Amino acid sequence: MLRNVDPPVSVLIHPTQFPLAVEAALHKSLKTREMSHSFHYTTPKQALRWLRLHEAFSPAQTDPDCLRIYDAAFARCAVELEGARTIEVVSLGCGGGQKDAQLLRRLSQDLPGVRLRYVPVDVSPSLVLTARRCAIDAGLAPEDNAPIVIDLATCEDWAAGLDPALGDSARRVVCFFGMMPNFQPEAVLPQLSRLIRAQDRLLVSANLAPGVDYRAGVEGVLPLYDNVLTREWLWSVLLDLGLNREDGRMDFSVNCPEGGDGLRRIESNVTFARACQIPYGRAVYAFEAGETFRLFFSYRHTPQRLVGQLSPHGLSVAAHWINATGEEGVFDCLRGV
């Protein structure tokens, strides 16, 4: 029998994760045949499967040079924040919080005496609690954690939605690690622009297409997605809705969607092998044999494309770092000057 070693924890739940809102979002996903990414993380089982996948395939976990570029970004961040008495680290889509813990350690080391406050933000209660524990293990006081569960994909105003969790800190670091690939740029960049204040730093990481040939670079990283662990993770949401693996075939492909300004993305689609039904709430969603359901997508950027996308929204890149393989980049941004 497991013994509880931690006291109860207060977690803010945004209305986007209230039951009726979650139900409405899932109805929309089933109706449009396009699964919201939030439903791949919401249950503890899904969160654990994603963490296992992340540990196995994320360059930040498997490539030592990724540790170097994040540490370089965090060291620069500490220099830029020198003199601050309190620093609030807000992690949008915190995941397991490993990068955030690395940042907190660097700030604590380079800025002795500064008070650090951490706001892990995710759609998954399991992940915000995992990130909170990671921050505490990195030396942050439990009372300086303010986890919030929110669906950024459906929240109409991130600044207002996050306000109850944010403090009165004069200096703030907003982390957007691993999130750019799962949002359409025109949807996410205005939100980031409204959230970032004049004195804030914005740290963005992006999955990149390595090499000089953009299309070939995107196709070259396809095995990072088309593998057993990713398939197991993505299938979870459909299995939980009552489907079986035999009901369809999952394929991964590289596509260039309309309105994406030429950005290419890796998509995971399930093609139904036979007619199926998914009852949910008072509705029944019917799928014909041969019909497709998009489960997941991940955009691949280049440094030049990302800088060009940020600029029209008043966000400028002060510095950036790319790992040796060219597959991951970290960008230190601030309100445009």
Cα dihedral: 244, 249, 253, 259 (round 10): -70
Question: What pLDDT sits at residue 300?
Answer: 94
Share of the chain above pLDDT 70, in %: 97
Same-domain status, 280 and 317: no
Does the residue 7 lie in any domain?
A: no
pTM over 0.85: yes
The parent domain of residue 240 ranges over: 214-300
Taking residues 65-71, what's their average pLDDT?
93
Same-domain status, 151 and 171: yes
Q: Are 273 and 247 in contact (CB under 8 A)?
A: yes
pLDDT digits (tens, 9 = 90+) for 177-235: 999 999 988 899 999 999 999 999 999 999 999 999 999 999 999 998 999 999 999 99
Does the residue 4 lie in any domain?
A: no
Same-domain status, 183 and 77: yes
Q: Cα(22)–Cα(18) distance, rounded to whole angstroms?
A: 6
CATH code for position 206: 3.40.50.150
At a CB cut-off of 8 Å and minimum separation 6, what does 130 contact? 47, 51, 96, 97
Taking residues 143-153, what's their average pLDDT?
96
Does the residue 5 lie in any domain?
A: no
